[in-house]
Chains A and B, each alone.
Chain A
């Protein structure tokens, strides 16, 4: 039987970090999925806290608003941070809509699932470029 030969094969038995990094090659839908998770984690912390700080300062007073607009948002490190936020939000948004459609059994065939993965990746990056361009 084939069980004997397959038992000899060395397979990653657990999802160890080296296995994830070097042994398992994720297909594109897998990348969309893990990036959805990564972007979600980033949005919870630290990006949500940072955005609340920005909302707080910009709504507190006109001086606060101007300080954010004219000084804080002009700093390169802040702009890069906002770029990360924009990408994380756009990717989480687009990938989330894809997952909602998958939950409704829309686009679950392999071909459609791959196409929608490409769309999610491209649209979220394109939106990041559009909003990022407005930022700069």
Chain B
């Protein structure tokens, strides 16, 4: 048996699980939207606009954006923790990542509810 001292609040487990759940959400959205777009090809503005005018599509897209934000945050944080050894630089890059991802979500809301 490995004698391991377990400390902390298990943030790693929560993020690990969140990354996988958000991945599944995005995968389902991707397949549905890809199918709709491919079945309606070639795409015209009227159809494109009508697709994103529907309530369920807006909510689904927002759900996708929030999933992406959480998923991408965990992923980028892992990358930065692996390769950027200098604390100050890593913190700066992590803050920039959060700002970038936050801006993505804001932009998505702006596009969807114009």
Contacts and interface: CB of A to CB of B under 8 A. Distances in A.
Contacts of B24: 100
Interface in B4-57: 20, 23-24, 27, 30, 41, 43, 45, 48-49, 52
A37 B107 CA distance: 25
A14 to B, nearest CB: 10
Contact of A103 (B20, B45, B110, B111): B20
Given A52-B108, A56-B107, A59-B49, A44 B20 contact: no
B104 interface: yes
Contacts of A134: 41
Secondary structure class of chain A's binding surface, majority of residues: helix
A40 interface: yes
Contacts of B41: 134
A43 B68 CA distance: 10
A58 B48 contact: yes
Interface residues of A, number: 25
B62 interface: no
Given A55-B111, A62-B45, A40 B52 contact: no
Interface in A88-111: 89, 93, 96-97, 100, 103
A41 B108 contact: no
A43 B97 CA distance: 13
Interface in A17-68: 37, 40-41, 43-45, 48-49, 52, 55-56, 58-60, 62, 65-66
A44 B98 CA distance: 11
A49 to B, nearest CB: 7
B104 A97 contact: no
A134 B37 CA distance: 12
B27 A56 contact: no
Interface of A: 37, 40-41, 43-45, 48-49, 52, 55-56, 58-60, 62, 65-66, 69, 89, 93, 96-97, 100, 103, 134
